[in-house]
Structure 1
Amino acid sequence: MRVTTERDRCVGSGQCAMLSPEVFDQDDEGLVTVLQEEPADELREGVLQAADLCPSRSIRVHG
Structure 2
Amino acid sequence: MKAFVDRDTCIGCEACAGTCPEVFSMDEEGKSVPIKEDIANDLLESAQDAKDGCPVSAISID
TM-score, normalised to structure 2, is: 0.93
SS at match of 2:61: strand
Unpaired segments ≥5 residues, structure 2: none
Q: CA deviation at 1:48?
A: 0.3
Instruction: Name the structure 1 match of 2:17.
Output: 17
Which contiguous aligned blocks of 4+ residues in structure 1 show a shift greater than 4 angstroms? none
Offset at residue 37 of structure 1 (A): 2.9
Q: CA deviation at 1:2?
A: 1.5
**What TM-score does the superposition give when structure 1 sets the normalisation length?**
0.92
Runs of 5+ consecutive residues of structure 1 not aligned to the other structure = none
Q: RMSD of aligned C-alpha atoms?
A: 0.8
Using the alignment, how far apart are the partners of 2:11 and 2:17 within structure 1? 13
**Distance of 2:44 and 2:14 partners within structure 1:** 18
- Listed as ranges, the matches of 1:1-63 within 5 Å are 1-62=1-62
In 2, are the aligned partners of 1:4 and 1:37 still within 8 Å (CA)? no
